Structure formats: C-alpha cells, structure tokens
Structure 1
Amino acid sequence: MIAFDFTSHDLMLAGTVSLAILIALLVLKAFIARQLRRLTSAGRLQFLSYPEQIINATRVPFMLAVALLAGISQLDFSPRQEAWLHYAWIIILVSQIALWANRMITVAVQRAFDRQLQSNPAGATHLMVAGLVARIVLWSIATLVALDNLGFNITTLMASLGIGGIAVALALQNILGDLFSSVSIALDKPFAIGDFIVVDSYMGTVEYVGMKTTRLRSLGGEQIIFSNTELLKNRIRNFKRMQERRVQFEFGVAYETSIENIERISQLVKQIVSSGQFAARFDRAHFKGYGDSALLFEVVYYVLDPDYNLYMDIQQAISLALLRQFRECGIAFAYPTRTLYIAPDANPSADQSRLRVARPIGGMERKDA
C-alpha cells in the first residue's frame, strides 16, 4: 500500500505552486492568442496563423494537468513514486504535442483543400486521404514514443501487433474495403467534388468524398450517400467532363407535304443550326422513314458547351425557328391521325317483305304479308 507522509506546509506549497502555474498559463495563453489574432487580422504575417492554431489547441485540461504535476513535483516521493510521476509527465507532454501536430495537419489539409477546390477540384480529393494517413502516422509515432519512454519493449510489441493486425483486418474488412476504395478514387480520379455524375438510377453533384462514403446532392435537393466500395462497383457517368453534347431529335411532317418541300426540309434545318446564332455544330439531317402518320426526319448536332441549361436554350431556339420556317413554307407538322375508309357492300340485299305475326283468332293463326 502506498503511504504518503506530507506536512501541511508541503501541501500548501504544492497547492500554491499549482495555482500560480495555472494562472500564469491561462494569462500567457490569452495574451499570446490576442497578439497573434491582432497581427493576422491586420493582414500581416499570415504564417502566424499556424502558431495561433497551436495556442487554440492548448486546452484547459492540459494546463491544469501541468499545474498539478508541477505542484506535486515539489513534494518528496520515494523512487518508485518519482518514476510514476515521470511517466505522468511523459504521457501528458506526448499527448499534447500530438494534439498540436494534429491541429497543424488539420489546418494545413483544410487550406490546401480549399485552394485545390477552386483551381483543381480533381486534385482536392486525395488531400482527405493524405490527411488521414498523416494522422495515423502521427498517432502511431506518438504512441510508440510514449510506450518506449514508459519502459515497454517496442520490438516485441510490433511483432504482436503484426499478428493482431491480421485479425483486426478480417474483422474490419468492409471498412477497410471502403478505405482502399477512397484511396482508389483519390488516385484514379473518376470524379471530383463539384462533378455531376449518374450512378445507376441516381444522379447528383458530388459534395464530399470521405474515407468510407461519397455524398451527392441530387436535383431534388436530398443528399444521396454511397459507400465507396459499392460506388466503384457501378458504372459512373461523369457529365462534368463532357466536352460537347451530342443532340439527336426527330420530327414528322404530314404525308400530304409536297415532294419539293420534303426535299427542302434537310437544307432548312441545316441553315437554322448553322446560322451562327448558337454555340452548336451541325452534323446531319435526313429523311429517316415512314411513320404511322408522319414522314419522319432525324437531326443530329453538337452543342459546343456541356452546360445543360445552354443545351435546352439552343434546342428551344431551334424548335421555334423550325416552326416559324415551316409555317412560312406551308409545311405542316404531323400529328396522330386515322382515316377510316368504308367499303360499299358488294352484294346489296333486295328489299324483303316483312312478315307480321298477328294474334290468333278463333284458334287459327293469321299471317299478313
């Protein structure tokens, strides 16, 4: 059983030292944070934002632990108790240094992500993976340093972790599958944040690519969440990387249209699309065939910009121009009609006399022609 033999003077000294150090740390943090905030807000010395983040990451529990340990260090302990006090210092200092480094990684990754998102969205995805890897390496090193200073045999520990890691990997294979899929997305870049993609029957704009999931914002406004593994198993159509949009549409004219007008229609369509009023490139226009109630034409052109709203504006303008030209030329668009021909009866029946059956009179039935 651990016994302590401290006088009231020793305890008062330890408490005074702890309180003084805690107050000094709080005042020092507030002063440094205020000065750094003033310098960075003035637009000067922007690199000081990193020390400001370090100061903000220094929490009251850490300062309280430092103050308590500093006060306790004023007391006389046995060698074994001194060793435990030394271990407490190691754990607190290593943990706080790791927290500072973690904050630096978070700030650096977030700033790089914001810059890449504006200039190169495809390159922003891999930064999330890089941040995760950096944090894993950081905390692994911090743990090994702490264990080494606590007297553990790291070599034996690493060997046991290698065996245990296999069991952990088997238990977490789904999570690890999503993790490796996120690395594949970051390296291969099938899409980036801000791209409009279609996956199976779902479509939306990529909002976030994480370690386990990818999130889309659909046209209806709701958020669609895919696991990275399931996402890569499907075919993905990326409309953001479309350089130009191929448009194909059909229309029909009435069968009563004259041969001369039918021969003019393809040229009329070409003149409208190639007039220079639209950001479009004409490809072809042909009399395609015969429909149930229309002579069918097929038109193909390319919109030179992938924007969907621009495509709809151009298609609307072309349709209005076609309607205007056709009315000026007397060409009628076809609509579903059905003509009924009634064939005359080949063998008309002669008038036959009607046979009327009267009521029986006197037991006899009378028939009048």
Structure 2
Amino acid sequence: MTEGLTGLFTHYTVLGISLASWIFAFCAATLSYILARTAIRFVLKRIQARSTTANGHLSHIAGQVLSGTSHTLLLLASILIGIGILDLPERWLGRVSSLWFVVAALQVGLWLNRAIALALHRYFSRHSGVGAFQASALATLSLWGAKVLLWAVVLLAMLSNVGVNITAFVASLGVGGIAVALAVQNILSDVFASLSIAVDKPFEVGDFIVVGALAGTVEHVGLKTTRIRSLGGEQIVMANADMIGSTIQNYKRLQERRIVFEFRLTYDCSAEQIRQVTQRVEAIIRREEKARFDRCHFRSFGEHALEFETVYIVLDASYNVYMDVQQTINLQIMEMIAEVEARFAFPSRTVYVASLPEPASTGQTLQKASRSEHA
C-alpha cells in the first residue's frame, strides 16, 4: 500500500513534473505566503509602536508605506517561490524570472506611490495649513506629476525586462503624445492655467473674489476647474483658463477700505453753515474707533445743490463693519444738518421767467365777447 502511494506520487506526472513535486511546491508557496504575512504584521506592530514617540513621524510614514503591501502581489510572489522549486523546462525559467521582476516592480511602485503621497501630504500640510492639501492646486499637480513619472518608469522597466524595444516604444509614445495634445488642447490649457494659479497665487482656497459678474468664496482649485461658492449659496464651476484670462478682485487680501461718499445741501446755506458742516463731519468721523478721517470738502457748486465730498478709511476689511460705520456716520450727519439749520438738497429744477405778457383788462375782454356775439 505504501509502495503504491509512493509510486503514485513519484511516477504520476502533470506537465512532465511528478505529483510529489507539485505538492511540495504548493506547500512551499503556502508556507511562504503565511511567513510573509506574519513578518509584515510583526514589522508593522514594531513600527507603529515607535511612531507614537515624539520623533516618530518617519516611523509613521514607514508604517503607512508597508501597510500598502498588496496581498495579491504577495500571493503571486509566493506562487513564484513554489514554481521555482519545480524542475521547469529551460524556456519557462526566463518567463518565471520576468514574472519575478514584474511582481517586484509593481510592489515597489505601490510602496513608492504611497510614500510620495504621504510625503507631499505632510509637506503641504505644514506649509499650507491644516486641511489645505486637498484644495491646493500645487499639491494636486505635484502629486499627479510625481505619480505619472513613477509609473511611467515602472512600466518602461517592466516592458524592457520582458523584451520590448523601449526606444521604439518611447518614439511611438512621442508621436502619439503630440496627437493627444492637439486633441485635448483645451483641457491642457486649463491644466497649465491651474499650474499658473498654483505658482502665482492670485487667490487661494477661502478667498472672497470677484470675477466679472461673479462673486463668491473659493472652495476648491482643481486641475481643470475652480469651484466658487456664491453669495446666493449656489456653487459656480469655472474653467481655470477663463479665470486666468479675467480680471480678479481678491477681497480676502483687503486690509483697509477707502470710502468716498457725497452729500448735497441746498443753495440757501450760508458760508458759515458750510464751514460748520465740514468741521462737524470731520469730528463725527474722528469719533469712530474703526475709521480714520482723511478729508471733507465743499467740493463744487452743483447744478441743483452745494456738493460736499468726504473721504475716510475703515480700519477693518469686513464689509459688515464698513456698513455699520457708514450707517453711524450717516445718522450723525443727519442730526448735525438739522442742528445747523441746513437742508439736504434733492433733485429739482428752478425756472426763472424774465417777463410774462400782461393780462388783458376785464372791459376789453367783455367788449371782444359782445362783438363776437353780434357777429
């Protein structure tokens, strides 16, 4: 019985390889997979324990990178270990070697991909504020470019290992790239516009901007579009190329507001009243804590009224603060105008008539009327 089983395992073949060799290869592959998984778990626990220390940011990154190990690629590597034990024909040895390189290149690419993402995330989080990484166009472009470069190198390395002529392949990619660039030139213009926004920074996430007739707060700057939350609450999506080609007013970077306002008084004001008005307007503005007086002048003799112009600076960028200050000034000016017994002018027109025809006398009118009756 034992000899029969032994003969079965040694003499029965599959693809020219004994059944015993297949079983041994299967056991080796299974054991390799279990050992690899166990080793990765052990290393991850050690790294996570070290990442809790004060200077454990590198250990944290290493742990995150190692946790990106693909179970599928690990299984394929274990299978290749088992296959390596088999007595394969010569033509299969080169293919197994190429598969080893492909599996290793893919896994290294996955590790580097995660390492690049974590490193850029950490860099932009430290330099752009908490939570700004996802919204930063520069971060998006940097991550996208680094990943494209990484996987291009991995792909070329794998193709070269399996025997593909890389020179001809790269040349064909160059010709194809020109055709693709011509086909998607509008998209590329938006991508380069996003790069310009990232480098020049005319606005950033959180800034309140006005672009033409659109106004709102920037929520996201992407590779192709910028999303703006308008004052009405709706989201406005605008192409980056259109943003760069327009005049942008950035109110987030406003530190002070220069305010110019006018008012008009009637022509029956005296010179003394005009002097009092300008002096008291200056006093009103100087009493405001969040305002800095600049000037107040009796500007001109208008067509319908005496025109005054006042300039002051609001020491706060908030629009609500500006409106509160302006309202207070307006109310005090109204009270002051009443105190000096002047009057605000309103649009009007006075017509002066030099002469009028004299009205006919009553007697002459009656005579004309009687003549017309007799006639």
Identity of aligned residues (%): 38
The superposition leaves residues 19-43 of structure 1 with CA deviations (integer Å, 9 ceiling, x where unpaired) of: 2222233333333333333332354
How far is the alpha carbon of 1:335 from its aligned partner? 5.5
Matched, 1:188 2:193: no
1:111 corresponds, among 122, 125, 128, to 122
Partner-residue secondary structure (3-state), 2:85:
coil
Matched, 1:13 2:17: no
TM-score between the two structures when normalised by the length of structure 2: 0.80
2:70–2:107 CA contact under 8 A, matched in 1: no
* Equivalent in the alignment of 1:177: 189
* Equivalent in the alignment of 1:211: 223
1:113–1:127 CA contact under 8 A, matched in 2: yes
1:245–1:304 CA contact under 8 A, matched in 2: yes
Matched, 1:311 2:308: no
1:125–1:193 CA contact under 8 A, matched in 2: no
* Equivalent in the alignment of 2:214: 202
How far is the alpha carbon of 1:289 from its aligned partner? 4.4
Partner-residue secondary structure (3-state), 1:142:
helix
How far is the alpha carbon of 1:334 from its aligned partner? 4.7
**Residue identity matched to 2:169:** L
* Equivalent in the alignment of 2:45: 34
State how far apart, in whole Å, the 2-side matches of 1:337 and 1:227 are. 49
State how far apart, in whole Å, the 1-side matches of 2:322 and 2:271 are. 32
Matched, 1:23 2:34: yes
1:274–1:282 CA contact under 8 A, matched in 2: no
1:269–1:285 CA contact under 8 A, matched in 2: no
Q: Map 1:227-306; keep pairs closer than 5 Å.
A: 227-254=239-266, 257-275=269-287, 277-290=289-302, 295-306=306-317
Partner-residue secondary structure (3-state), 2:260:
strand
Note the residue ranges of structure 1 that are not aligned, 5 or more in a row.
353-369
* Equivalent in the alignment of 2:10: none
2:291–2:312 CA contact under 8 A, matched in 1: no
State how far apart, in whole Å, the 2-side matches of 1:81 and 1:92 are. 16
Matched, 1:163 2:163: no
Partner-residue secondary structure (3-state), 1:217:
strand
How far is the alpha carbon of 1:152 from its aligned partner? 2.1
State how far apart, in whole Å, the 2-side matches of 1:62 and 1:328 are. 88
* C-alpha RMSD over aligned residues: 3.3
How far is the alpha carbon of 1:66 from its aligned partner? 2.0
Partner-residue secondary structure (3-state), 1:246:
strand
Note the residue ranges of structure 2 that are not aligned, 5 or more in a row.
1-13, 368-375
Between Structure 1 and Structure 2, how many residues are aligned? 350
How far is the alpha carbon of 1:259 from its aligned partner? 4.3
How far is the alpha carbon of 1:339 from its aligned partner? 9.7
2:276–2:340 CA contact under 8 A, matched in 1: no
TM-score between the two structures when normalised by the length of structure 1: 0.81
* Equivalent in the alignment of 2:153: 141
1:285–1:300 CA contact under 8 A, matched in 2: no
State how far apart, in whole Å, the 2-side matches of 1:322 and 1:71 are. 93
Partner-residue secondary structure (3-state), 2:17:
coil
State how far apart, in whole Å, the 2-side matches of 1:109 and 1:53 are. 14
The superposition leaves residues 296-339 of structure 1 with CA deviations (integer Å, 9 ceiling, x where unpaired) of: 43322222443323322322332233234334434444567899
